[in-house]
């Protein structure tokens, strides 16, 4: 006989026995991570999470996160407290693209650098910066720069580049990297594409005809250099990065009211941040993209964001995308289109999904996109402020997030709506 405790058999009705069933509460994710508060599915046990710890434990195969929820349900506060505790306790390095200018209190609390970009301002970043650790293969660096420029130009032109435009753009970037005096800038690209030469793009077309074929490129780039975003991306980077500090916040609130400008600025900013954080050694890094819907409206920008996501493991970076609705993942795209498929691929590359309250018309969409059970889907419109359904790979948790007393000031986004 096997050793054990001898207990008499117990007989009860299923209505009573279900309350004592030993597997009614799930085991949770463990204690390795940022403490956020209690998991209601484990009987109120503590809930902690860190994307890098989850990856090391084999719970997820990528460190990326998606946070979705209606305005005013607590997703912003949870994001800020998660960053605050990740940086303050775990020593992570965070970079935040802040379209609404609401992360400054967090930056001040942690001592993060704040870079405010606005037309005609004094701060400038160069999206063509190779970063402190450029790819060992120079052609890979050229390809990344050309892809980023093609995304910017396609967004302005509202179309894909023609084969000639694409070839001239790639040739200009390659020429500048080989023969330029330093890191190329957008102004340098404009100067070359105004008068492309056969040396840049081998062709039998006359030089004047070639220039006419690509005349849209310098005009499109002019939007970033001379008009709505003048002074933000038109020269070498002139801001210093403190790698010994906790990170930086890039304030983009000056263009938040203009959806097209916001998309362009987020593409350029993401390119700069991605190269910036491809640095060996040092702390694990978090890249936070608030209002990420602005990059999901077209196939070009969705593909670019997906490429950034796929490099996360190589760079030791966890990406956090913040949206209002799950349908933002295929906003402005039709089911079955290439853009919709890219957005679904991006979701597949994001195994940690934090879902705050969604309106009832979003339930079916959320369930289909995320493979939620009927119970989980029906829970979404009933979640109260501060509670969220966490889906971490195949595991679920309903978390009641708590804001610490010293964190309330940096989490307050309602001050303008409430009488003091």
State yes or no: pLDDT of 413 exceeds 70: no
Q: Which residue has the tokens 């580049």?
A: 161
What is the sign, positive or negative, of the torsion defined by CA atoms of 236, 237, 239, 243? Answer: negative
pTM, rounded to two decimals: 0.84
Whole-number pLDDT of residue 415:
45
State yes or no: pLDDT of 392 exceeds 90: yes
Q: Which residue has the higher pLDDT, 36 or 15?
A: 36
User: How far is residue 299's CA from residue 310's CA, in Å, rounded to a whole number?
Assistant: 16
- The SS3 of residue 60 is coil
Contact yes or no for 63/51 (Cβ under 8 A): yes
Q: Over the chain, what is the mean pLDDT?
A: 83
State yes or no: pLDDT of 20 exceeds 60: no
Residues with Cβ within 8 Å of residue 412, at least 6 apart in sequence: 105
**Nearest CA among 336, 337, 399, 326 for reference residue 368:** 326
User: How far is residue 261's CA from residue 256's CA, in Å, rounded to a whole number?
Assistant: 8
Pick the CATH number of 24-117+242-414 from 3.40.1350.10, 3.40.50.300, 3.90.1150.10, 3.30.70.80: 3.40.50.300
State yes or no: pLDDT of 6 exceeds 80: no
**Nearest CA among 308, 408, 390 for reference residue 84:** 408
In sequence order, the β-bridge partners of residue 65 are: 320, 352
User: Containing H/E element for 192?
Assistant: helix 186-194
State yes or no: pLDDT of 3 exceeds 60: no
User: How far is residue 361's CA from residue 401's CA, in Å, rounded to a whole number?
Assistant: 25
**Nearest CA among 78, 94, 86, 84 for reference residue 54:** 86
User: How far is residue 263's CA from residue 353's CA, in Å, rounded to a whole number?
Assistant: 23
User: How far is residue 39's CA from residue 362's CA, in Å, rounded to a whole number?
Assistant: 24
User: How far is residue 47's CA from residue 59's CA, in Å, rounded to a whole number?
Assistant: 15
Contact yes or no for 288/179 (Cβ under 8 A): no
Confidence band of 268 (pLDDT split at 50, 70, 90): confident
Whole-number pLDDT of residue 336:
53
The average pLDDT across 40-57 equals 88
Best-predicted range by mean pLDDT (7-21, 78-92, 224-238, 367-381):
78-92
Confidence band of 25 (pLDDT split at 50, 70, 90): low
Rg of the chain on CA atoms, in Å: 24
User: How far is residue 420's CA from residue 409's CA, in Å, rounded to a whole number?
Assistant: 14
User: Containing H/E element for 250?
Assistant: strand 247-251
Whole-number pLDDT of residue 414:
55
72-75: Cβ within 8 A, 24+ apart? 72/385, 72/414, 73/356, 73/357, 73/383, 73/385, 73/386, 74/356, 74/385, 74/386, 74/387, 74/388, 74/401, 75/322, 75/354, 75/356, 75/388
User: Containing H/E element for 113?
Assistant: strand 113-116
State yes or no: pLDDT of 351 exceeds 80: yes
What is the sign, positive or negative, of the torsion defined by CA atoms of 303, 65, 274, 228? Answer: positive
State yes or no: pLDDT of 191 exceeds 50: yes
Return residue ranges of the chain for CATH 3.40.50.300: 24-117+242-414
């Amino acid at each position: 006989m096997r050793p054990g405790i001898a207990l008499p058999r117990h007989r009860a009705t299923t209505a009573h026995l279900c309350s004592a069933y030993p597997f009614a509460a799930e085991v949770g994710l463990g204690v390795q991570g940022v403490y956020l508060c209690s998991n209601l599915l484990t009987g109120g046990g503590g809930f902690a999470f860190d994307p890098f710890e989850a990856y090391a434990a084999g719970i997820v195969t990528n460190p990326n996160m998606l946070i979705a929820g209606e305005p005013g349900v607590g997703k912003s506060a949870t994001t800020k407290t998660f960053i605050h505790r990740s940086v303050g306790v775990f020593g992570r390095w965070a970079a935040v693209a802040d379209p609404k200018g609401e992360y400054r209190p967090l930056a001040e609390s942690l001592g993060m650098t704040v870079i405010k970009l606005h037309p005609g301002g004094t701060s400038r970043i160069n999206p063509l910066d190779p970063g402190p650790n450029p790819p060992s293969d120079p052609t890979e660096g050229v390809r990344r720069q050309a892809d980023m420029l093609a995304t910017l130009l396609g967004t302005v032109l509202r179309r894909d580049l023609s084969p000639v435009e694409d070839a001239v753009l790639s040739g200009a970037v390659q020429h500048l990297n080989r023969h330029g005096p330093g890191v190329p800038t957008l102004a340098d690209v404009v100067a070359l594409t105004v008068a492309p030469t056969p040396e840049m793009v081998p062709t039998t077309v006359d030089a004047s005809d070639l220039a006419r074929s690509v005349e849209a490129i310098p005009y499109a780039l002019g939007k970033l250099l001379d008009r709505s975003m003048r002074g933000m991306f038109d020269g070498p980077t002139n801001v210093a990065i403190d790698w010994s500090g906790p990170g930086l916040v890039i304030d983009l609130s000056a263009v938040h009211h203009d959806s097209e400008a916001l998309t362009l600025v987020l593409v350029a900013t993401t390119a700069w941040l991605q190269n910036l954080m491809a640095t060996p050694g040092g702390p694990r890094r978090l890249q936070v993209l608030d209002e990420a819907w602005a990059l999901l409206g077209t196939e070009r920008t969705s593909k670019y964001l997906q490429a950034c996501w796929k490099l996360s493991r190589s760079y030791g970076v966890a990406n956090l995308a913040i949206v209002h609705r799950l349908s933002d993942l295929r906003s402005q795209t039709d089911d079955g289109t290439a853009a919709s498929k890219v957005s679904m691929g991006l979701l597949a590359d994001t195994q940690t999904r934090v879902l705050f309250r969604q309106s009832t018309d979003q339930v079916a969409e959320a369930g289909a996109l995320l493979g939620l059970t009927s119970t989980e889907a029906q829970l979404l419109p009933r979640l109260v402020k501060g509670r969220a359904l966490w889906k971490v790979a195949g595991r679920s948790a309903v978390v009641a997030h708590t804001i610490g007393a010293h964190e309330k000031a940096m989490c307050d986004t309602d001050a303008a709506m409430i009488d003091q």
